[in-house]
Amino acid sequence: MSVQSSSKTSITQRFDSYQPSKTLLVWACVVTAIATMIIGFSWGGWVTGGTSSKAAAAAGDVARGDLASAICVERFKAAPDAAAKLTEFKAITDGYKQRQFVEAGGWATMPGQTSPDSRSVQACATTLAA
């Protein structure tokens, strides 16, 4: 038994004497790169350029709609007969007719446009109804 144990090498000795081939090193790098990409896109929050462009465009649309609805509300409140119009607006219970009222008043039509954006009209009507 002592002969057998003396011929065994320890893990540290085997590790120190290990000489990996270039092929093994290249494959280790390839596998590591692939694993990094999978983890990055799955859990790391990485996105492609197309996905980020779509997200930026959607965020821009939402921001424009929010700004247009805020301008709409301010125009509505700045009108000379705002109190009477607000009473008339709040008397309307149907959401569709409220949006039509806002569109007909012209408050939601932004400068340079011929018609209002439907999202800004909806947001404006919702804000005025609150």
The pLDDT, as a whole number, for residue 2 is: 45
What percent of the chain has pLDDT above 90? 31
d(CA 56, CA 2): 71
Query: What global pTM score does this model have?
Result: 0.62
d(CA 12, CA 7): 15
Per-residue pLDDT tens for 7-37?
Answer: 688 888 888 888 888 999 999 999 999 999 9
Q: Judge whether residue 106 has pLDDT over 70.
A: yes
Classify 19 in phi/psi space as left (phi over 0), alpha (psi -120 to 50) or beta: beta
pLDDT category at 118 given cuts 50, 70, 90 is confident
112 CA to centre of own chain: 28
